[in-house]
Amino acid sequence: MSNQRSKLVVGNWKMHGRLAPNVALLQGVARGAQALPQDVRVGVCVPYPYFAQAQALLGGSRVAWGAQDVSAHEQGAYTGEVAAGMIADFEATYAIVGHSERRAYHGESPELVAAKTQRALAAGLTPIVCVGETLDERESGATECVVGAQLNAVLVVLSADEAARIVVAYEPVWAIGTGKSATSEQAQQVHAFLRARLAAKGAQVADVPLLYGGSVKPENAAELFRQNDIDGGLIGGAALKEGDFLAICAAAAAAADVAG
Ligand code: PGA
């Protein structure tokens, strides 16, 4: 039996997309999302140069938009960085922070991820805080230790009221872009652990949306989204295909329906 929380499906385009083909994808997703029930929310996190395009094509639709990263600084001499306020200027809703690709390829520390989360919140954005273990960490039994430390680094710098405004995405590194999703049992187990950590921060934090990410596809989405502590998904590769992304949104709707 699934839970009573609403579902959230967010696409993470990563460094994909071009101005011309984006039009059909954004319009198609906006059109398809109209048919979804109100208890399913949808978003897409696009590369920075496409914010204006997302705002123009998704404005007034059921689909929110956001960024894949945000600077830890408010403004200043930080060449190449993009401030949370700039993202908010385009009426964005979300900012992914601490994605494993940022942690691995850009050396982002837990403290930096925490600072980015604070900046996003201060600008009125909803940070999607990513946590996840590598295959080595899983095989050595360190999964809870790793994701617990990643989440705690963020929770310690937030008040309970601030923490209640974040989204958390559990993305096992070994499942990202590999085609090898965590099983629904593996994912649920980690989500239950994260839920308990959130609840320990305060009653209002317990129901923070907990997304699963890592090779979510139309074929496995329904089973994942039916789990008690899985409130939706952060979707990479499948978010670039209109039909697949909308099918995953429909799976979220079906799971929400079972709960209701
Ligand atoms: P994937 O990526 O769905 O392509 O595995 C998920 C993510 O990295 O957010």
Nearest to 175 by CA among 151, 128, 143: 143
pLDDT band at 5 (very low <50, low <70, confident <90, very high): confident
pLDDT recorded at residue 259:
63
Active site residues: 99, 171
Task: Indicate whether 208 belongs to any domain.
Answer: yes
Distance 248 CA to ligand 1 centre (A): 13
Tokens 């604070």 locate to 118
Average pLDDT score over residue span 80-104: 98
Q: Which of 211, 234, 241 to mutate to test the pocket of ligand 1 (most atoms within 8 A of CB)?
A: 234
Amino acid at 121: L
Distance from the alpha carbon of residue 81 to the mean position of ligand 1, in angstroms: 23
Binding residues for substrate: 12-14, 177, 215, 236-237
What pLDDT does residue 3 have? 66
pLDDT (0 to 100) of residue 229: 97
pLDDT tens digits along 169-187: 999 999 999 988 899 999 9
Compute the distance from residue 116 Cα to the ligand 1 centre, in Å: 21
137-152: average pLDDT: 97
State whether the beta carbon of 216 lies less than 6 angstroms from ligand 1: yes
Mean pLDDT of the chain: 96
Structural domain harbouring 199: 7-259
Residue 52 has pLDDT above 70, yes or no: yes
Out of 46-50, 73-77, 96-100, 176-180, least confident range: 176-180
CA–centroid distance for 20 within its chain:
25
Residue 215 inside a domain? The answer is yes
The confidence score (pLDDT) of residue 10 equals 98
213 lines ligand 1 (CB under 6 A): yes
Residue at 1 is within a domain: no
Instruction: Write down the pTM of the prediction.
Output: 0.97
Q: Is the CB of 177 under 6 A from ligand 1?
A: yes
If pLDDT is split at 50, 70 and 90, which confidence band does 15 have? very high
Asked whether residue 86 is assigned to any structural domain, the reply reads yes
- pLDDT at residue 260 is higher than 70: no
Under 8 Å between Cβ of 46 and 13: yes
* CATH number (domain holding residue 163): 3.20.20.70
Residue 187 has a pLDDT of: 98
- How many separate domains does the chain show? 1
Please say if the pLDDT value at position 1 is more than 50: no
Instruction: Tally the residues of the chain.
Output: 260
Nearest CA to ligand 1 atom 7: 236
Do the domain assignments include residue 136? yes
**What is the C-alpha separation between 242 and 255, in angstroms, rounded?**
20
**pLDDT grade for 45, boundaries at 50, 70 and 90:** very high
* DSSP SS3 for 216: coil
pLDDT one-digit tens code per residue, 198-256 = 999 999 999 999 999 999 999 999 999 999 999 999 999 999 999 999 999 999 999 98
If one residue of 99, 129, 215, 224 were mutated to test the ligand 1 pocket, choosing by the most ligand atoms within 8 A of its CB, it would be 215
pLDDT given at position 250: 97
DSSP letters for 229-240: T--EEEESGGGG
Residue 237 CA, ligand 1 centroid: distance in Å? 6
**Ligand 1 proximity of 215 Cβ (cutoff 6 Å):** yes
